[in-house]
Structure 1
Amino acid sequence: MSTATLYGLGTAIPLLVGAAVGLRFDLPRTVLAALMAFGAGTMVAAVSTELFQPAFTSEGGLIAGSALMAGALVYVVADHLIENKLGAAALGWALMLGSLLDGIPENTALGVSLGGGGGVVLLVAVAVGNVPEAVAGAASMRKQPNFDVRRAMLLWTVTAVVLVLVVVAAHAAADNIPDRSIAVIQAFAGGATIAVLADSLMPEAYREGGWWVGLSTALGFLVAFALGG
């Protein structure tokens, strides 16, 4: 099995595990909050060290910043449309959407970075962040009328498969992707990730856990940053 496939599975399996847990079990609110906050911290590390910083260094503030804002805008608009359609049930779908919107460019960046031996921080951040994101999203889906656990799990499985294929395809095409395109993809992923954190993951973590979740967020950042050092 190729390295790219293993890295892809490293991001997808935590997503499926989180979705399965969220669909079938009621975790204590404090545990769920700690997981979400820790995952948010790892994602902050990924944005700062492996997504936006390389783009800013290579392409400058205008291009990198524009891509960052575009990623945030796409997620915010899509999240708003989902919320208007689903109301109180929107969080689960918003988090699954976030898994795709930030996961596709993140996993593209991950697949490309494998050729240079990088990607450790990004892999850790995505893997750890996917667990609470999926747990929270799947658990919220259970609150919908006419909820179907098999259909929900199928949707999360399709999402996971797509993310694996993205890593494999990006790694295979790495030599043909211009460096400037890679930088834009990374910055776009950073923007989508920031929007997911601000709109969905961190507010839900605070709502479920309260004031102390800031410590769990800081710990997640520290772990991911140290692993990539």
Structure 2
Amino acid sequence: MVKALFYGLGTAAPLLIGAAVGLRWTLPKPLLASLMAFGSGTMIAAASSELFEPAFHQAGVWIAAAALFAGAGIYVVANHFIEAKLGAAAVGWALMLGTILDGVPENTALGVSLTSGGGLVLLVAVAVGNFPEAIGGAALMRDKHDFSPAAAFALWAATGAILVIVTVFGYTLSDNLSATHISAVQAFAGGATIAVLADSLMPEAYREGGWWVGLATAAGFLVAFVLAG
């Protein structure tokens, strides 16, 4: 239980730090883009090796694929709804939505994986991805949605608390879940992660940083891959 709480805090702390940085300072766009791209690279590695691959091998292609598309589909529909309501300036909300929609199954999968001694790569990937998401999302909420710093920070703090809770919940629930259920959670988290990267995080990194952010993405992938090895 203590280990699950520690891992949950490890994913939530970058949200709070990132939100505080984004609300307090305006980072150079190339730096923020590099952070987003690096986080994208780590999440690509984690989604494949820590989430979808074990689900694919345990549950088979049909169950893993169905859960993958469910995770991606729910995020895409919810993100489209926000953009339709708020327009192009909805990126800040979209990044928070992405943190919740991919973070809840990811942190649940993280808690579950702790029972088998895994989870380090996923922890690093989620933590590194959460930091730039919170910076960018909090700054956009402040600048384009007129949130007060206190209100925006409170929303990101609540998101962090949710991630801690679901990590502990996944850990305590793991003994009551079948291997197929665990695989479905993992694949769902992988699908949501891929959708967040494709719809929000990577396009925003490219817009802010330009063509060279591909190198930062590759660096993030390499770090996560080495940790997995």
TM-score, normalised by the number of residues in structure 1 = 0.98
- Structure 1 equivalent of residue 115 of structure 2: 115
Measured after TM superposition, the shift of residue 96 of structure 1 is 0.3
- Structure 2 equivalent of residue 169 of structure 1: 169
Write the mapping of 1:1-229 to structure 2, written as runs, cut at 5 A. 2-229=2-229
Worse-superposed segment, 107-116 or 82-91: 82-91
Whole-Å Cα distance in 2 between the matches of residues 74 and 112 of structure 1?
22
CA contact (8 A) 1:89 1:143 kept: no
Measured after TM superposition, the shift of residue 195 of structure 1 is 0.5
Letter matched to residue 106 of structure 1: E
CA contact (8 A) 1:205 1:213 kept: yes
Worse-superposed segment, 15-24 or 26-35: 15-24
Measured after TM superposition, the shift of residue 147 of structure 1 is 2.2
Whole-Å Cα distance in 1 between the matches of residues 96 and 157 of structure 2?
11
Secondary structure of the structure 2 residue equivalent to 1:201: helix
Letter matched to residue 223 of structure 1: V
- The percent identity for this pair of structures is 67
Show structure 2 runs of 5+ residues with no match.
none
Whole-Å Cα distance in 2 between the matches of residues 42 and 167 of structure 1?
19
Letter matched to residue 137 of structure 1: G
Show structure 1 runs of 5+ residues with no match.
none
Measured after TM superposition, the shift of residue 145 of structure 1 is 4.4
CA contact (8 A) 1:52 1:186 kept: yes
**CA 1:217 to 1:147, structure 2 compared with 1: closer, same or farther past 3 Å?**
same
Whole-Å Cα distance in 1 between the matches of residues 138 and 82 of structure 2?
15
TM-score, normalised by the number of residues in structure 2 = 0.98
Letter matched to residue 43 of structure 1: M
Aligned length: 229
